[in-house]
Amino acid sequence: MSAPLAPCPFCGSNRIERRLFPPTTEGPAARQTGMVSCGSCRVVGPTQTGQSLDEAIERWNMRASDSPF
Ligand SMILES: [Zn+2]
């Protein structure tokens, strides 16, 4: 379905969860907000309102590869 998820940069867990939150505004411009979080240490990936789940995954993976972990 979508891009693979890198392990958590903080605890190394592979239990990464994808989440999708409903729009915070109404109307045609409203978008769901995708978020990625670690199912082990509960850290949440970089979030930007209105980002798609794919964008959230992309940001998560970018941070994961930036980490010295
Ligand atoms: Zn973690």
**Concatenated DSSP letters for 12-56?**
--S-EEEEEEPPSS-STT---EEEEEETTT--B----TT--HHHH
This prediction has a pTM of 0.77
Q: Tell me, in angstroms, the distance from the centre of ligand 1 to residue 1's CA.
A: 23
pLDDT one digit per residue (tens) for the chain, 69 residues: 566 899 999 999 999 999 998 887 788 878 889 999 999 999 999 988 889 999 999 999 998 776 555
Q: Tell me, in angstroms, the distance from the centre of ligand 1 to residue 30's CA.
A: 30
